[in-house]
Amino acid sequence: IIENTTIRDYALLVVIGNYEDTSVKVLKLPEKEVIDKYTVGKMEYRITKLPNATFFKVITSRPATVLLMGGAAIDTWPSNKTHKLWPRRRAISMFTTSTNGGYIGKEFIFLATTELPVGRVDIYALEDSKVTIYDRQNRIVKKLEVKANEFKSVFLKSYEIYRVVSTGNIMVQVIDENREPDTLIYPSATGGFIGTRFYGIGVVPEEWLPLEEMAFIVTGIENFKLTVVDLKYKTTILEKEFKAGRLNKLKLESYCIGVESDKPILLMYVGFALSKKVVFLGLRGGEEAYIYVPEGEAYIFSAYEDTIVTVDGVQHYLGRDSYMLLPRGLHRIGADKTVLIEMVKYGNLRTSVFRKIWEFPYTAGFEAFGMIIPPIQGIEKSYDITLKPLRAEFPWKYILILAIVIVAIAVFIIIKRTRKQVK
């Protein structure tokens, strides 16, 4: 059953300037026809309406925040008007890119895609950091300090543009508090998407539903040992070894998690059967990964000439600005040059659970979607950061010192009492 006022034949491409005088060009692929061209300043934005099924490319003179979003639940932005079915708009969980294009940095400019009127944004510290948050009028909204391997939540006005400045390297995630994280790719805290350290939202126990696909998924090219820490309570919730090339599904019950592996892995979360989402990830040149493509569509985009993409051992040659469709399921994918992958997850209504509920055809449309598109240069970016161990070493040194002090005090008291008795 479709409510006519929710039908959309377009999406919004929102470009937010990270620097002054940033020139932007939007091209339609494969024709490479220019469909929009403009200049934005720092914290300024422009919106381009893209018809459904448009393949496109964005070129900017300096790094910018590029957000693809749409659906009746959110596409009335930037007006204050909302759709009657979603008076508070939909919140969209996503990691934000920094002003250098990667997911790690000391300055971030982004649209807080939280539910009206305010919503949660999490800041994960890779280093001890002093963080200041500004609004578009350059007014200070919040100041906070975050220690390495810790996080702090702040609550910001919905669908407003903010600037986050930090003294140390951090990662920023916009949170949808009313839902589990939905389908989401976790960027690596070591750069790119394939790595050995990750931070992000977990799933609290009451949010798990008895549906078939809902799970964290972790995959690796090599056998790996995984450690997962609850960042809120600083406890280890999982420590386990996994085999290479397998689809490992996990239920990580935690408010926020830190994940560490001894070998490079890919971490993602696949939402419950009816969830719909658009997500992006990238592979650097020379990287390989086992990537799970859920129900829906997935495309791999080449930014360079003569790119060799290998899918399950079969080589495909892609030219600059070209793309190919990826099949559903788990696949070993690699490329000799950096590529971008887009996944469009549909609601999966063929599970045994939903066959029992619905005996008639059902249309699962996108009431809302949104995700920042990482630039090729941001995926390629490397960082000179020394990450602290995710699990703090047990403080035996301090316990020993404390024990010595306690013993010394006890001896002093005993001696003092003995002297009194002698007198």
Write the DSSP assignment of 337-395 as a string of letters: S-EEEEEEEPP---SHHHHHH--S------S-EEEE---HHHHH------PPPSSPPP-
At 97-149, the pLDDT tens digits run: 999 999 999 999 999 999 889 999 999 999 999 999 999 999 999 999 999 99
Torsions phi, psi of 380, nearest 5?
-80, -15
Torsions phi, psi of 76, nearest 5?
-80, -10
- Can you give the pTM of this predicted structure? 0.87
- Across 73-95, b (16+ Cβ under 10 Å) vs e yields bbbebeeeebbeebeebbbbbbb
Q: What is the mean pLDDT of residues 150-161?
A: 96
pLDDT of 255 reads 86
- DSSP H helical segments within 92-199, as ranges? none
CA 47 – CA 41 distance, rounded (Å): 14
Give percent above pLDDT 70 in the chain. 84
Sorting pLDDT into bands at 50, 70 and 90, what band is 418? low
Q: What is the mean pLDDT of residues 313-336?
A: 96
CA 66 – CA 97 distance, rounded (Å): 9
pLDDT of 393 reads 46
At 176-226, the pLDDT tens digits run: 876 656 789 999 999 999 999 999 998 866 555 555 456 899 999 999 999
Q: Residue 244 in contact with residue 148, Cβ under 8 Å?
A: no
- Judge whether residue 405 has pLDDT over 50: yes
